[in-house]
Amino acid sequence: MSMSVSKKDLLLLLGLCGVLAAALVYFFVYQPFMQKSDALETENNSLSVRIAELEAMEAKREEYITETEDMNRQIASVYNLFPSNVMAEDAIYLAIYEESLAPLQVNGITIEPQEVQYQSGGNEDTEGTEEKEDAIDKAKSDAPADQAALEADAELEGTAVDSDADDEAAEDRITDAGANMALYNQPVTISYELSYDGLKRCINYICTNPNRMTVESVAAAYDNTSGMLSGNMRVNMYYLTGNGKPYTPPDFSNVLIGNTNLFGSIVLPETQSDSGEDAEEENTDANEQM
């Protein structure tokens, strides 16, 4: 039995094969190509936007570099206001200086444990971050007053303050030390007895001190008998570690500390009078012999 395919069936078969080939080309060639083309177009659009941003930044490159350097100098100038450490002798020296400046009588000093206010380098706690940043912002806002205090002290001492040189030196120290810096607070409570004018001088000295310190609280009660104020003051002394700034201990050379040796030889007043009488008698005998 022989099978014969008509010309019409052959044409239908060829048409079916053509449709299948077209479907295969569309789904496996054309559609993936179009998807890739759309992806490339989207990527090109995003790259075009990025190129435009980079071109705009390149046009302002020198301006950005200048502003960055200026900001680094400003940051370094703020960091330079903080001492690198606060020891117990610094708190004692503060009380001694206030005692002679106000003047006031210090009845007691309480040096409390140090507190971490802010720590950089990725190790800071998430809790209380806003309070720590507020403390740093407050320290920055007081920077002009501290610079004025430094210049006033320099005028009294006959020296000049080169703020630009100090800022550049501080910037170099901070760059060398890195970003692992920590801000600490040393709370100190001073119990005192002083006059009202002395209290104002005491607070003014702390607020205008070149080192970073603030008055947290003041308590004072009036004594009707002596006419003086008695109470206590809590002072926060701040310092910044990791800024490469060397620690400068306080100078106690002008502080009266009493006798160097309590067990040294002393001359009693009676002995001095006796020796004076003996010398007078010897002078009298010599005159008589003459």
CATH number for the domain spanning 180: value is: 3.30.70.60
**pLDDT at position 176 over 70:** no
Measure the CA–CA gap between 97 and 205, rounded to whole angstroms: 10
Measure the CA–CA gap between 277 and 265, rounded to whole angstroms: 22
**pLDDT at position 286 over 70:** no
Domain count, the chain: 1
Which range (39-48, 102-111, 155-164, 274-283) has the least confidence?
A: 155-164
**pLDDT at position 69 over 80:** yes
Phi, psi of 187 (to 5 degrees): -75, 135
C-alpha distances (whole Å) from 216 to each of 8, 177, 187 are: 104, 31, 9
Give the model's pLDDT for residue 102: 81
What's the domain range around 236? Answer: 84-241
Q: Looking at the domain assignment, is residue 130 inside a domain?
A: yes
Higher per-residue pLDDT: 154 or 261: 261
Q: Looking at the domain assignment, is residue 113 inside a domain?
A: yes
What's the rounded mean pLDDT across residues 87-98? 90
Confidence of residue 41 (pLDDT cuts 50, 70, 90): confident
The string of pLDDT tens digits covering residues 212-264 is 899 999 999 998 888 899 999 999 999 998 878 888 888 877 766 665 665 66
Q: Looking at the domain assignment, is residue 263 inside a domain?
A: no
Cis peptide bond upstream of 83, omega within 30: no
Give the model's pLDDT for residue 14: 82
Measure the CA–CA gap between 84 and 241, rounded to whole angstroms: 5
Measure the CA–CA gap between 36 and 31, rounded to whole angstroms: 9
**pLDDT at position 168 over 50:** yes
Q: Looking at the domain assignment, is residue 3 inside a domain?
A: no
**pLDDT at position 132 over 60:** no
Give the model's pLDDT for residue 154: 43
Q: Looking at the domain assignment, is residue 171 inside a domain?
A: yes
Q: Looking at the domain assignment, is residue 262 inside a domain?
A: no
Share of the chain above pLDDT 70, in %: 66
What's the rounded mean pLDDT across residues 159-179? 50
What's the rounded mean pLDDT across residues 14-26? 83
Measure the CA–CA gap between 231 and 190, rounded to whole angstroms: 8
Q: Looking at the domain assignment, is residue 179 inside a domain?
A: yes
Place of tokens 């940051």: 75
**pLDDT at position 172 over 60:** no
Secondary structure of the chain in HEC code, one letter for each residue:
CCCCCCHHHHHHHHHHHHHHHHHHHHHHHHHHHHHHHHHHHHHHHHHHHHHHHHHHHHHCHHHHHHHHHHHHHHHHHHHHCCCCCCCHHHHHHHHHHHHHHCCEEEEEEEECCCEEEEECCCCCCCCCHHHHHHHHHHHHHCHHHHHHHHHHHHHHHCCCCCHHHHHHHHHHHHHHHCCCCEEEEEEEEEEEEECHHHHHHHHHHHHCCCCCEEEEEEEEEECCCCCCEEEEEEEEEEEEECCCCCCCCCCCCCCCCCCCCCCCCCCCHHHHHHHHHHHHHHHHHHHHHC
Mean per-residue pLDDT of the chain = 75
Q: Looking at the domain assignment, is residue 250 inside a domain?
A: no
Which range (45-49, 102-106, 140-144, 243-247) has the least confidence?
A: 140-144
Give the model's pLDDT for residue 149: 45
